[in-house]
Chain A
């Protein structure tokens, strides 16, 4: 609960759309849609806040911790051992559970290696049929 996080490398970029967030992993080609709560937590993690700062309520903390684990599992954030303590975070109550949608349709294009994965007839960026 006291661990702090950072983006899992320079391949992880994100853009805000109103209260929502889209995260792209330039390495894997996957992109991810986070709802408003997910976007708040993403911001909190990337500004160095530990789960224990984000919520003091046990049930909410469990949800936040599970979301952090999900983001780690998707290789979007990683533990930042060198992080200094971040400024105080006003603990939140989660009216809405954080969600993350995974979109894979870009992945075939971005991670296709033009050397080996290009469709022989259609050419880059068309991936071979067995990879589409």
Chain B
């Protein structure tokens, strides 16, 4: 089997991408493993010879039922192995925003992480994706927390929603979005809520349909720093790994916490912006949609390449369509969770 080397140039980008897909077509047939997922109601098949990577996807992706229909297909391979081509960016720099603008109205999406020569390419017309790495573990450090995230966004963008960088808490299927930058207390709030009996469809990224205000689970991943783990009494819990991740956080999975099964989707009734408060009790205060948007949009828009304008518009619509509140967190996790439970009941 040959191992072609293909050039990708900004001047001939569309033709080059078409060539890559043409050359890679046999890889979908020869991959030794196919794992099927249903994510936010859509089917995804991950095809690869890389069992450890697929195993990591199995753990992280919130798939509620294996799918048999075709849906989106993503090949994950190592350049130069089993016919997978090596791709060369044929320009001094990869200007992500320029490439995004160039491809905005086309069928294609691209993400290229230069330090690792890590490629993700997607054809929205055929729902076909390629993830090409230089080695089995040569993916960005953050990749396994939300694997295939860009592909999921690029595929689900055709179905009336977008990925939102936010956590969620719910009672049954009635819930709230929690958005905020690192250090706002978002993840700790979600985790303490879960441990207090609330449900979630995700702590980091969820798929939201702004018109129907439904949020869908995408990933099982949770992250929490050492202080948060201690505060919540989770130190030593079997769900926690022995080492922290690249952010110096414990990365673990909802399914390992021994809780009741989480919902596939929830109906959103409010957007909450948590912040570490100064008072003994947790309080809520209504804020404007504009304020909420300015907190909700930045990180998600910046972290998912290829669809920035769409993500921006989706975050705006969600902010407009939901009542928005600042959530000033008290120091007691149980009290915070009780306040949110009462808030969800009342709203």
Contacts and interface: CB of A to CB of B under 8 A. Distances in A.
A113 B93 CA distance: 9
Nearest to B302: A109
A122 B320 contact: no
Interface in B281-316: 288-290, 293-294, 297-299, 301-303, 308-309, 312-313, 316
Contacts of A118: 115
Contacts of B316: 15, 17, 22
B302 A106 contact: yes
B288 A17 contact: yes
Interface string A44-60: 00000000000000000
16 contacts: A11-B101, A13-B309, A17-B290, A17-B316, A17-B319, A24-B312, A26-B101, A29-B302, A105-B298, A113-B95, A113-B96, A114-B113, A116-B114, A118-B115, A121-B246, A124-B113
A130 B319 CA distance: 32
Given A105-B298, A109-B302, A115 B93 contact: yes
Contact of B114 (A26, A31, A105, A115): A115
Contacts of A109: 298-299, 302-303
Chain A interface mostly: loop
Given A33-B290, A122-B247, 15 more contacts: A10-B101, A15-B293, A15-B313, A17-B290, A18-B289, A22-B294, A26-B97, A26-B101, A26-B312, A33-B294, A103-B294, A106-B301, A114-B114, A116-B93, A124-B113
B141 interface: yes
Interface in A79-121: 103, 105-106, 109-111, 113-116, 118, 121
Contacts of B308: 26, 110
A43 interface: no
B142 interface: yes
Contacts of A103: 294
A125 B302 CA distance: 7
B319 to A, nearest CB: 7
Interface string B82-111: 000000000001111100010010000000
Interface of A: 10-11, 13, 15, 17-18, 20, 22, 24, 26-27, 29, 31, 33, 103, 105-106, 109-111, 113-116, 118, 121-125
Contacts of A33: 290, 294
B140 interface: yes
Nearest to A105: B298
A17 B292 CA distance: 10
A124 B142 contact: yes
A14 to B, nearest CB: 9
